[in-house]
Structure 1
Amino acid sequence: MGLGHPVDALHRALTSAGVHGMEVIVPSYGSVEVVDAVRQVGGVPVFADIDADTFCLDPAAVEAVVTPRTAAVVPVHQFGHRADMGRISRLAQRWGLAVVEHVEQESSSTETAMRQANAAYLTQRLTDVVTPRIRPGAGHTFLQYVVRVPGNGRPDRDAFARTLRARGVRCRVPVQTPVHRMPLFRRDVWLPETERAANECLALPVDAGMTRRELHRVAAGCNALGGLLQPA
């Protein structure tokens, strides 16, 4: 299916794809509304792991969970980074699956351009976090600017976030709990990249209206913590 679907159109797209009683492959990383939509139309969510760089569904992980009962796959363009639609579409064609894209949020081209400029500023200046990686040709609108905090996972990431907030830098954990570990949707699956992202990632502000002074404060606050949370 061509363009991405916002949340309020997912039900129609999934119904049209004929997923009732069938399996639908979805990401577990930050996609509660997608999983909920699949269940509401009678589909069975099947979780696949994400790509470590883009946080979008890993096409190889998708193919690994395809069964004769699989009807569709829902690639989510995570944080504004486009999923690998070329590989997923070829995979879907090979297995006879419907593809229902999901876009987290729409924004104007002006807002997108400003966020992209702010993201580029941070990427050039941040030194002690792993900055966003963009798959060649994919494009990224930076609905969220998500970095990885090096160290020992969640304890170090959370300590890093607390210190940043104390210094006046707005930041948030983009995904606290993957969907497959939530009580309502729990599945006994092992998704290593999903778990690692949930433990290491932090979203820094790149809002369209931010000034260079504010962006400098973000970069300086992060860089001042460099080395403090590194593993021994």
Structure 2
Amino acid sequence: MLRAAGVGIGDEVVVPAFGNVEVTEAVVQVGALPVFADIDPLTYCLDVTAVEAVVTPRTAGVVAVHRFGRSAEIARLHALGRRHGLLVLEQAESEAPYDETAQRRERAAYLDAKLRGVRTPDGGAGHTYQQYVVRVPGNGRPDRDAFARAIRSRGVDCRVPVKTPVHRLPEYRRCVSLPETERAAEETLALPVDAALTRREMQRIVSACNALGGLLQPAL
């Protein structure tokens, strides 16, 4: 899409650094320069204000990536694109069947109501919960990685959704300030909400997480 739109050498394209190195690679492949903008801490998608802050006369476009089943602010990004004459592209997530999405939402609602000691996701309109991503603040009692090890030992199949932001990878290292991106990479953990999960398995997730809840309070 970038090549078809005429984006190439000398152009800049604004992209998120939180996940999806493939987006950055696509920009490089057409000869353009990827420019990283910070994310909104609730949606994990590009923050529109942060995008506008990095726009220059060389900016040709923006690639918005929908994240974890939550949509980017496409209407605002298109408005920004019109103001600056920018191409706005989207990378969408694969859509699950309606019944599967409904079941994931049901499981997400259960976790929202039961979990303690972690910050549950901001639902928002239309959230499909491709991944159920919580925050485990790194205050030393324990941090996200220690928390993940502990609940895995209790049989919960969790995963770190983004281990290293793209702007910290050796081939794309940039000296830029992306505090929300880096905080999200340090704190986020995806818990299972698969449609196939049984009630007993959902209870195990809650029990494992809540058993550590007391350890997650800020140190005095």
Q: State TM-score, norm by structure 1.
A: 0.90
Structure 1 stretch 57-66 or stretch 120-129: which is displaced more? 120-129
SS of 2:61's equivalent in the other structure is strand
Aligned to 1:97: 86
Residue 225, structure 1, aligned to residue 212, structure 2: yes
Residue 169, structure 1, aligned to residue 166, structure 2: no
Identity among equivalent pairs (%): 64
Aligned to 1:6: none
Q: Which amino acid aligns with 1:76?
A: V
Q: How does 1:129-144 map to 2 (within 5 A)?
A: 129-135=118-124, 137=125, 139-144=126-131
Paired residues of 2:117 and 2:217 also in contact (CA < 8 A): no
Instruction: Choose the corresponding residue for 2:2, options 14, 36, 43.
Output: 14
Q: Which amino acid aligns with 1:95?
A: H
Residue 204, structure 1, aligned to residue 200, structure 2: no
- Does the C-alpha gap of structure 1 residues 51 and 154 become closer, same or farther in structure 2, counting only changes over 3 Å? farther
Point out where structure 2 has 5 or more consecutive residues left out of the alignment.
none
Aligned to 1:125: 114
Superposition deviation, residue 151 in structure 1: 3.8
Aligned to 1:80: 69
Query: Partners in 2 of 1:141 and 1:153 — Cα distance?
Result: 32
Q: Which amino acid aligns with 1:131?
A: T
Q: State TM-score, norm by structure 2.
A: 0.95
Aligned to 1:30: 19
Task: State how many pairs are aligned.
Answer: 218
Superposition deviation, residue 183 in structure 1: 0.7
Aligned to 1:159: 146
SS of 2:68's equivalent in the other structure is helix
Superposition deviation, residue 190 in structure 1: 1.2
Aligned to 1:193: 180
Query: Partners in 1 of 2:171 and 2:137 — Cα distance?
Result: 31
Query: Partners in 2 of 1:191 and 1:163 — Cα distance?
Result: 29
Residue 214, structure 1, aligned to residue 218, structure 2: no
Query: Partners in 2 of 1:154 and 1:196 — Cα distance?
Result: 17
Query: Partners in 1 of 2:48 and 2:121 — Cα distance?
Result: 19
